[in-house]
């Protein structure tokens, strides 16, 4: 295993009227390292362990975008150098 694997952050914008429990469907998902409530342009951020782009995109569409309350997503990648 790589010393510092790729990480991904999925920023989520909720639809108007989203209940405060909308994020709970992701609780316990082993791909999600952490989930954050945020302020500003985005409402939530999911921190994921990501092995490759295709698997990440599949996860976003199958597990994040499938949430009926998700309006938009934005994905960012990073890899720690040291």
Separation CA 16–CA 79 (nearest Å) = 34
CA Rg value for the chain:
13
In the chain, which ranges are E strands? 6-14, 32-37, 44-49, 70-79
Residue 75 forms beta bridges with which residues? 10
**Sequence ranges of the domains in the chain:** 6-79
Predicted TM-score (pTM) of this structure: 0.86
Strand 6-14 with 70-79, pairing: antiparallel
Q: Which CATH number fits domain 6-79: 3.10.129.10, 3.30.70.920, 2.60.40.10, 3.40.50.1220?
A: 3.30.70.920
Encode pLDDT of 9-65 as tens digits. Answer: 999 999 999 999 999 999 999 999 999 999 999 999 999 988 788 889 999 999 999
């Amino acid at each position: 295993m790589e010393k510092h694997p790729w990480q991904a952050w999925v920023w989520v914008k909720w639809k108007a009227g989203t209940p405060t429990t909308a994020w709970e469907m992701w609780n316990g998902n082993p791909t999600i390292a952490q989930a954050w409530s945020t302020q500003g342009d985005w409402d939530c951020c999911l921190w994921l362990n990501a092995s490759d782009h295709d698997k990440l995109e599949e996860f976003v569409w199958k597990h994040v975008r499938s949430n009926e309350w998700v309006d938009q997503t934005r994905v960012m990648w990073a890899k720690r150098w040291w």
